[in-house]
């Protein structure tokens, strides 16, 4: 971490709640969260340096990211689909498989497979057979 945030726990903590939990200055929290979001920064180390539990800082980061995402969605409502929008569903018939591009494979053991002239049913049958085989002796079935 090349830079550290200069806030101290005393500046971060503004008081205590009735149940004894600490209150934190919103601006100091935001600076700490933004520092934690920098590349290469250890959240645990940053929390420790500022007298915080790392889980609490991670919770703040998660909440901050959610709020930013929600703000981005709210600022661009046209990009989000309307829940009442009607989208027609048009059935599509699957196109028959044509291997005009030449489907060929060379396996590590030297076996070559050429499926250029194979029908879609033949390819499907071959793939089904191959998927039933174990990969190698190294895999425990």
Burial class, 98, CB count within 10 angstroms (exposed 0-12 / middle 13-18 / buried 19+): exposed
**Which pLDDT value is given to residue 139?**
52
Q: Is residue 109 included in any domain, yes or no?
A: yes
Do 15 and 46 reside in the same domain of the chain? yes
Count up the domains in the chain and report the number.
Answer: 2
Q: Are 23 and 67 contained in the same domain? A: yes
Containing domain of residue 116, as a range? 98-133
In terms of C-beta distances under 8 Å and separation of at least 24 residues, what long-range contacts does 31-39 make, across chains too? 31/5, 31/7, 32/5, 32/7, 32/57, 32/60, 33/57, 33/60, 33/61, 33/64, 35/3, 35/4, 35/5, 36/61, 37/61, 38/1, 38/3
Does some domain include residue 141?
Answer: no
**pLDDT in the model for residue 84:** 57
Residue 29's pLDDT band, with cuts at 50, 70 and 90, is: very high
Give the highest mean pLDDT range of 68-72, 86-90, 98-102.
68-72
Q: How far apart are CA 47 and CA 24, in angstroms?
A: 13
| Model pLDDT, residue 2 | 45
């Amino acid at each position: 971490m090349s830079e550290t945030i200069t806030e101290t726990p005393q500046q971060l903590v503004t008081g205590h709640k009735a149940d004894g939990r600490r209150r934190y200055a919103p601006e100091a929290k935001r600076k700490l969260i933004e520092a934690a979001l920098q590349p290469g920064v250890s959240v645990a180390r940053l929390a420790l340096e500022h007298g915080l539990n790392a889980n609490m800082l991670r919770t703040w980061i998660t909440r901050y990211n959610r709020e930013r995402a929600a703000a981005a969605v709210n600022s661009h409502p046209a990009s989000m689909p309307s829940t009442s929008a009607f989208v027609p569903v048009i059935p599509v018939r699957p196109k028959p498989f044509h291997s005009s591009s030449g489907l060929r494979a060379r396996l590590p053991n030297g076996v070559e497979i050429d499926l250029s002239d194979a029908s879609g049913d033949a390819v499907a049958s071959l793939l089904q057979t191959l998927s039933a085989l174990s990969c190698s002796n190294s895999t425990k079935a």
